[in-house]
Each structure stands twice: as C-alpha cells, then as structure tokens.
C-alpha cells in the first residue's frame, strides 16, 4: 500500500494548487485524477473567449473552429500543468478515486484497484450542476455551464441564468460570438459583493453590448415551440430563446455519500460542509473547490487548495474570503478585493470611500474605488473597473495585507496617465472625505 503525507482527489484548480503547496512545505504528495489534469476546468473558463484578433471582425466566428482552437489550448494547458506537477515531485495516479476511510483513497484503474494511504486527505473532486424541477436538464436546450464546450452549434438567442463572474463572462462570451443574450440573475445586482454604484457601471457595460438584463425575475413557465423556448417571467415579461445555460446552481457529487457514511456532514444539496480551515467533520479530511456545492472563482478555488494544504501539513490557517481577489473579464476588467462599503461595517470598520473616474486615450471610462477605515486610515478594500484590473487588484491586496494607509497611497509616486495614478487619485478622494468628515 502506497503511503503519502497528503493524498488529493481531483486535479482541478483547487486540487493542483493544494498539491503544489503541500509539496513546497516538504510533503510527500499524491494526486489522483481520472481525466486529464485541469482540462475540463480550462474549457469551462475559456471556451467562450473569442480570440483577440477576431473580436472586432464583422464576420461571425466559426464555432467548430473556435472549439477546435480551445480544445488544442486545453490540451497544451493540461500537459504543461502535468509537467509542472511532475517536476515538483508529485506522484500522479490516473483512475477513479473514492474515499475508503479517513486516511485512504481507493483507486479504480482499468482492470485493477488499489488503496493509497495519506496522513491527510484533500477532496477536490468537484460538483455537479443542479437543475430545478421547473427547468430540468435537456441536452442542447437546458444545459449547465459545463456543457457549453459540447454544443454542436451556437444558438441564435441564449438565456444565461446566473450572476457574478461566471454569469457576466458567459453573457459577454456568447454576445461576442454573435448571439443575442439575456442575463437572468437571482439577485438585484450582478455582483452582490460589490457596492451599488459599481454594479450600476457593470450593468451599463453589459447593456452597451445589447445584453438584456433580467435581474431578480423568476421564471414562471416556458413552452417549447420548435427551436424556440417561449419564456414567461413573474413580472409578465415574455421573450423567446433557443438555449438556457444554468451557471450558479451546483450540488454535491454522488461520491459525497461515501464521505457521509464515514462521518462527513453534508448540506441540503449533498455538498460536503467544511470549516474555515477547509476541514470536513472527519478529522484530517479536507474539502476544497466546488465540492462544497458552490461555483467558485478561480482565485477562491486556488486559495482554498492552499489553505487546506497548509493545514494538512500541520499549519493553522483560516480562509479569509476578504483577502481573495475576484477578477472578471467583461467589456473591461472588473475586480475587487477586501471590504466593500457594505461588508466593512460587518468587519468592525468605520468605512469611507474615495472614487476616481478617468478616461485613458479615448477608451471607455475607468473607475477606481478605495475603501478605508475612517479611524486608522488603513486601506481595507478596493473595487476597479479597468483594462488593467488583473494587474492592479493583486497590488491592492498586498497593500491591504501590509496595512498601508490611504495617506501612504495618496502620496505615492505615480506616473501621470497610468492606472496606478488612478488608484492614487481615488486614495486622495478618500483622504479628503476622511478629513472633511
């Protein structure tokens, strides 16, 4: 029987990050995955992203060529990730794995099965889409976000059901590929974690692409008429679509019942419940990624994997969701980290904000918001709509962790006309609001 410090079941973002982090800490690590490492998740995240050179062309994008291109990239991504894991000294086992005991994974390969033992186990084997009784799964008609890469052709009209990063990105992706898009959310705001003023700007971005937003409007009924689905919402709104994509709703996989029989607590949708250390109710068994029954952002999946790995190697670290950045590729980049004005109050801060709107070289208006604690003047959060959000948000996270004040940021040397200057101007506005308050 093979024995390891940490055995990880699942080779997605959270599983691979857990493997790499545990190895960095000196652990002997095994990762079990039945499919190609990271490939499925790569396709889910990237299949709708039109190639940059094609975005502005008038000719419609050929869907078969798009799929072929993305599948090739997914294969390359998977191979590169596998090479990285091998170079790190991680043992990769291909097969169907399941929890056999609190410290054992049973692996079923083609014609044989064997047990791998670990001092700690990290379950990172994902989740399944959850469809409601009123919108049951139907191939090529009512599907999950996981199935987009299996579509044989693009729909003329599509309804996306989901908010946040995945709902917004799916809406933009289908629109850029030439579809008419409806975006239905189960909340009033597309990004509930962000402040209302930023949500208004995000909504304006989507509307500028002629995406119809149906916020917080439940579906009453639908009728299939040939290729069309005739939809009726609770407010009386009626429209037709050819495809419905369910983004947000997830449930635990069937294997979770095995974990339950060994002492794991499951939620109402079969998801494994974990604490802030990512540990299940079975000591030494952790759960990360969407196994918790939620569709997580890339950064949250990775962070959960790292936290579980560190705790499995004897450290004690809690997951701090406020310190996990969110980034979404819409018309512009949208990102946030730390506290919003809404959430800062619940963290015991006296929040105050500074906002700066600026245009760069005749491009769309970009917006930078800094949230600070009025008493300590510490930067506690930021929200950004910018083409460089992906570069700026990690910088802000570092400033928050280091306890930088708005005074420090406002007086930082910044080159004129850069996005960092936009952040500094937002800090100056925040500092001014503190002084005037």
In the predicted model, what is the mean pLDDT of the chain?
93
Spell out the SS3 assignment of the chain: CEEEEEEEECCCHHHHHHHHHHHHCCCCEEEEECCCCCHHHHHHHHCCCCCCCCCCCCCCCCHHHHHHHHHHHHHHHHHHHHHHHHHCCCEEEECEEEEEECCEEEEECCCCEEEEEEEEEEECCCCEECCCCCCCCECCCEEEHHHHHHCCCCCCEEEEECCHHHHHHHHHHHHHCCCEEEEEECCCCCCCCCCHHHHHHHHHHHHHCCCEEEECCCEEEEEEECCEEEEEECCCCEEEECEEEECCEEECCCCHHHHHHCCCCECCCCCECCCCCCECCCCCEEECHHHHCECCCHHHHHHHHHHHHHHHCCCCCCCCHHHCCEEEECCCEEEEEECCHHHHHHHCCCEEEEEEEECCCCCCCEEEEEEEECCCCEEEEEEEEECCHHHHHHHHHHHHHCCCEHHHHHCCCCCCCCHHHHHHHHHHHHHHHHHHC
**Diameter over CA atoms, the chain:** 73
pLDDT recorded at residue 217: 85
pLDDT in tens, 197-219: 999 999 999 999 999 999 988 89
pLDDT recorded at residue 33: 97
Asked if the model's pLDDT at residue 98 lies above 50, the reply is yes
pLDDT in tens, 282-292: 999 999 999 97
Taking the C-alpha atoms of residue 217 and residue 232, their distance in angstroms, rounded to an integer, is 10
Which of the four pLDDT bands, split at 50, 70 and 90, describes residue 58?
A: low
pLDDT recorded at residue 151: 95
Q: What percent of the chain has pLDDT over 70?
A: 97
pLDDT recorded at residue 55: 45
**Mean pLDDT over residues 377-400, rounded?**
96
pLDDT recorded at residue 118: 97
pLDDT recorded at residue 53: 39
pLDDT recorded at residue 149: 95
Taking the C-alpha atoms of residue 314 and residue 156, their distance in angstroms, rounded to an integer, is 53
pLDDT in tens, 315-358: 999 999 999 999 999 999 999 999 999 999 999 999 999 999 99
Direct distance between the N- and C-terminal alpha carbons of the chain, in angstroms, rounded to an integer: 67
pLDDT recorded at residue 338: 97
Which of the four pLDDT bands, split at 50, 70 and 90, describes residue 51?
A: low
Q: Which of 132-136, 147-151, 238-242, 291-295 has the lowest mean pLDDT?
A: 291-295
Asked if the model's pLDDT at residue 49 lies above 60, the reply is yes
**Mean pLDDT over residues 53-66, rounded?**
68
Asked if the model's pLDDT at residue 57 lies above 80, the reply is no
Which of the four pLDDT bands, split at 50, 70 and 90, describes residue 163?
A: very high
**Mean pLDDT over residues 381-410, rounded?**
95
Give me the domains of the chain, ranges plus CATH numbers.
2-129+250-323 (3.50.50.60), 142-246 (3.50.50.60), 332-436 (3.30.390.30)
**Mean pLDDT over residues 413-423, rounded?**
89
């Amino acid at each position: 029987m093979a024995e390891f410090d940490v055995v990880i079941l699942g080779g997605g973002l959270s599983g691979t990050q857990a493997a790499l982090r545990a190895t960095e800490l000196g652990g002997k690590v095994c990762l079990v995955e039945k499919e190609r490492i990271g490939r499925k998740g790569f396709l889910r995240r990237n299949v709708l992203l039109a190639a940059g050179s094609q975005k502005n062309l008038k000719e419609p994008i050929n869907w078969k060529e798009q799929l072929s291109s993305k599948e090739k990239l997914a294969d390359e991504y998977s191979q590169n990730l596998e090479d990285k894991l091998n170079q790190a000294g991680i043992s990769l086992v291909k097969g169907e794995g399941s929890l056999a005991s609190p410290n054992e994974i049973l692996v079923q390969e083609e014609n044989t099965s064997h047990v791998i033992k670990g001092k700690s186990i990290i379950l990172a084997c994902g989740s399944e889409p959850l469809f409601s009784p009123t919108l049951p799964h139907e191939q090529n008609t009512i599907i999950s976000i996981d199935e987009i890469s299996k579509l044989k052709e693009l729909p003329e009209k599509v309804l996306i059901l989901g908010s946040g990063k995945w709902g917004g990105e799916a809406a933009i992706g289908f629109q850029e590929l030439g579809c008419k898009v409806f975006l239905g959310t189960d909340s009033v705001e597309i990004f509930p974690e962000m402040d209302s003023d930023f949500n208004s700007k995000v909504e304006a971005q989507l509307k500028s692409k002629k995406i119809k937003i149906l916020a917080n409007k439940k579906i009453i009924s639908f009728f299939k008429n040939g290729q069309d689905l005739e939809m009726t919402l609770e407010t009386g709104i009626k429209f037709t679509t050819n495809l419905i994509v369910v983004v947000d709703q997830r449930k635990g996989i069937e294997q979770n019942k095995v974990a339950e029989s060994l002492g794991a607590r499951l939620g109402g949708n079969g998801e494994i419940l974990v604490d802030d250390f990512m540990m299940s109710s079975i000591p030494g068994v952790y759960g990360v990624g969407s196994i918790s029954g939620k569709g997580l952002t890339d950064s949250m999946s990775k962070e959960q994997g790292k936290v579980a790995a560190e705790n499995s190697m004897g450290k004690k670290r809690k997951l701090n969701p406020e310190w996990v950045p969110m980034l979404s590729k819409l018309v512009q980049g949208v990102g946030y980290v730390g506290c919003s004005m809404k959430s800062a109050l619940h963290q015991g801060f006296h929040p105050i904000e500074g906002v700066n709107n600026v245009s760069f070289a005749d491009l769309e208006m970009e917006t930078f918001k800094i949230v600070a604690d009025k008493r300590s003047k510490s930067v506690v959060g930021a929200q950004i709509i910018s083409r460089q959000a992906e570069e700026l948000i990690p910088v802000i996270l570092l400033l928050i962790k280091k306890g930088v004040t708005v005074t420090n940021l406002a007086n930082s040397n910044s080159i004129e006309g850069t996005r960092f200057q936009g952040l500094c101007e937002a800090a100056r506005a925040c500092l001014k609001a503190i002084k005037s308050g």
